[in-house]
Every structure is written in C-alpha cells, then in structure tokens.
Structure 1
Amino acid sequence: MIEQHLMTLDEGWATITHQYSPALFAFADVVIVLVNGRVTTRGRATDPAVMRELNRLQLMSV
C-alpha cells in the first residue's frame, strides 16, 4: 500500500485522503480536516477536535 511506503520515507510529505487509515494518521505530524474546502480543525490524530471532525465526516467513531 502507498501508506506503508510513505511511512518509510525520510523526507517530508503530504497526502490527501478521503479514507481513515489509523496507521497513517498516527504517523502524521499534523492532520488538517477540511469540509467543503474549508479547514475545520487541525492537530494530531488523537486530538479531540480532530477526532470529532473525523467522526462527523463518518470516517471514524470516537
């Protein structure tokens, strides 16, 4: 999978996804959540605001 490859890279990278990947989100320094092209929150995958938005988008359950 591409996610597994990304996590082996030494240099920085960014990805855009419409699917929740626990391993990829946990590896990310920052998760930025957009709804209709607008940033609704940003932070670590474990931040309550990020988890709330991902749940609202039906990408995960909190």
Structure 2
Amino acid sequence: MAQSTQNANSEKHYIALIIAVAIGLVGVFIRFADFKLASAVGNILMVVGTIFVLRAVFAIMK
C-alpha cells in the first residue's frame, strides 16, 4: 500500500500532466490562428494532449 501511495505522489506524474495540459491548450489557441492548416494542427495537438493526460492519470491511478 505504501508503495502505491508513493508512486501516486511521484513528481514525474504531475510534471507530465502539466506538459500534457499545456500541449492541449496550445492546440486550442492554434485553432484560432489565421493560417491555412490551423484547425488541423490545433486538433492534432489537442488529441496528443488528451492522450498524454489520460496516460498520466492512469499511471497515477495504477
């Protein structure tokens, strides 16, 4: 039990969450940019951010 709690409180999980959320936010802001593929690039970044967030959350729960 102690090892599971220690793993959940690991700093690397929360750093990964912050980076993943930042990637998703960049994707949202890029969607409003004014260049040819802005929407596609923004959507891709949002999907990548979402995948990273889910991986980090499930690693914390594990």
| TM-score computed with the length of structure 2 as normaliser | 0.22
Return the structure number with greater relative CO, CA threshold 8 A, min gap 6.
2
Q: Which of the pair has more CA radius of gyration?
A: 2
- Return the structure number with greater helix share: 2
